[in-house]
Amino acid sequence: MPIPRRVRGVVLVCIALALGATPGAPLAAQERYPTLFTPALAAKPQVRDALRWLESSYPEHVQEWIRITEIPAKSEHEQARAAYVKAELEKAGLEVRIDSIGNVTAVRKGVGGGPTVVFAAHLDTVHPLDTDVTVKRDGKVLRAPGIFDNSASVANLLAVIRALDRAHVRTKGDLVFVGTVQEELGLRGMDWWLEHTPRPDMLVAMDGGLDGVDYGALGIYWTRYHFTGEGSHTLTSAGKPHPARALAEAIASIYELRIPEGHGGAVYNVGMVGGGKVFNAIPQDVWFTVDLRSVNPVLLDSLDREIEARVAKAAADQHVGWSKELVQRNKAGGTEEQLAGARRHPIVQTAVDIHRFLGLPARAVATGSTDANVAVTRGIPAISVGRANGGNQHTLQEWADSESALPATKMVLLLGVSLAGLAEAVP
């Protein structure tokens, strides 16, 4: 008997959803991406035992999460937290090193025949060393500066290593675990690590919320612009070159910039303004900062040039000098179209499928603002995945859901055995 048209439509939608398609989009337009994960892998006895160990030991996991949070670790001052992580990795029987910039690295050797996969969790926070980082419990919510960004990932990383050991899980490829430093200062630790370490096959940054998988790199340009002049007492200032007027003209002109539609989009902001030393005089030096961001490297550079041109025009109009200070230059990875090849790498869909298996939001986006960025811009297959659910990061009101790090940790474990390849069980 022929299938009614309405039933045929339901069947087609179900097939599309099973393949990861977007409801409403033509099936022909959907691309089926390669994946290294299947539910059968999670059901393997050693993997199943590792997941169960994560569940049974989760109260201790949360206690360690709190303990890590309460170790101050402002960027460039991560030494105490690095020492704790190093000691715990050594307890797991791993050979550990701390490099000259402060990154902590440990390698869990595979049995051979698989790729090298890096998992990176940054150790640093933005909070000054004298910040009160005592964790307070509010029901299921943990509150403290740094509890979400990025202490959660550090605790997750340690828990995954222990679970693999307790369940005697072996992988074909090496698993490399890195606690990076100075992530909050422009991904400096990860950038240094990739410059001084043999190129890995894949990289996973553990950073962010549990809202999906990022496989791109948001380009971030931080620039400080200075205007300078001879200055003058207010009483003799009429008609003289004025750096502050140039600054005002430049900022007003910059905010008239129009971001073109499409092309990945962009955003910018004047975040800081300063200068001058006395109340009743033309300042001799004033400055402002621009935070410019886009995933599109062409658009990022063109907007950067346009902003600089407007600064130069304002300086010329007011007959003052100007200069620029490049504070940070993190390259852009590309738009969704430009990263079509990266999207087809199995690392992305494997992570999406694991998210779906664990009941987490399963979407992939061509952006990112984590340690994975410096791998993406080097052409290394890389993603960032979340650590927990939380909010108000970089503030004193930071919080995290105490239960949400468990599925995040399971996800990292499943990524490890999927990407590096599960070896035969060890007797």
pTM, two decimals, is 0.88
Q: Label residues 199-218 b or e (16+ Cβ within 10 Å = b).
A: ebbbbbbbbbbbebbbbbbb
The domain covering 39-217+333-420 belongs, at the CATH homologous superfamily level, to Zn peptidases (3.40.630.10)
**Could you say which residues of the chain have pLDDT below 50?**
1-29
Q: How many residues does the chain have?
A: 427
Which sequence spans correspond to the domains of the chain? 39-217+333-420, 219-330
Asked if residue 101 lies in contact with residue 188, where contact means CB atoms within 8 angstroms, the answer is: yes
Which residue type is seen at 268?
Y
What would the pLDDT profile of 278-328 be if each residue is shown by its tens digit? 999 999 999 999 999 999 999 999 999 999 999 999 999 999 999 999 999
pLDDT attached to residue 22: 40
The token duo for 271 is 């975040």
The token duo for 1 is 């008997």
- How many helices (H) and strands (E) in the chain? 13, 18
133 contacts: CB under 8 Å, gap ≥ 6: 69, 70, 71, 72, 127, 144, 145, 146
Please state, in angstroms and rounded to a whole number, the distance separating the CA atoms of residues 73 and 75.
Answer: 6
Asked if residue 396 lies in contact with residue 131, where contact means CB atoms within 8 angstroms, the answer is: yes
Please state, in angstroms and rounded to a whole number, the distance separating the CA atoms of residues 417 and 203.
Answer: 14
Asked if residue 121 lies in contact with residue 180, where contact means CB atoms within 8 angstroms, the answer is: yes
pLDDT attached to residue 75: 98
The token duo for 185 is 């200062």
Output DSSP code: residue 189. Answer: H
Please state, in angstroms and rounded to a whole number, the distance separating the CA atoms of residues 208 and 64.
Answer: 19
pLDDT attached to residue 315: 98
CA 67, 73, 78: angle at the middle one, nearest 5? 110
Choosing among 3.30.70.360, 1.10.230.10, 3.40.50.300, 3.40.50.150, the CATH entry for 219-330 is 3.30.70.360
The token duo for 397 is 């009101």
Asked if residue 163 lies in contact with residue 51, where contact means CB atoms within 8 angstroms, the answer is: yes
Q: How many CB atoms lie within 10 A of CB 86?
A: 18
Instruction: State the pairing for strand pair 136-138/213-214.
Output: unpaired
- Exposed/middle/buried for residue 165 (C-beta within 10 Å: 0-12, 13-18, 19+): middle
Task: Provide DSSP, 259-320.
Answer: PPSSTT--EEEEEEEEE-S-TTEE-SEEEEEEEEEES-HHHHHHHHHHHHHHHHHHHHHTT-
Q: How many CB atoms lie within 10 A of CB 31?
A: 11
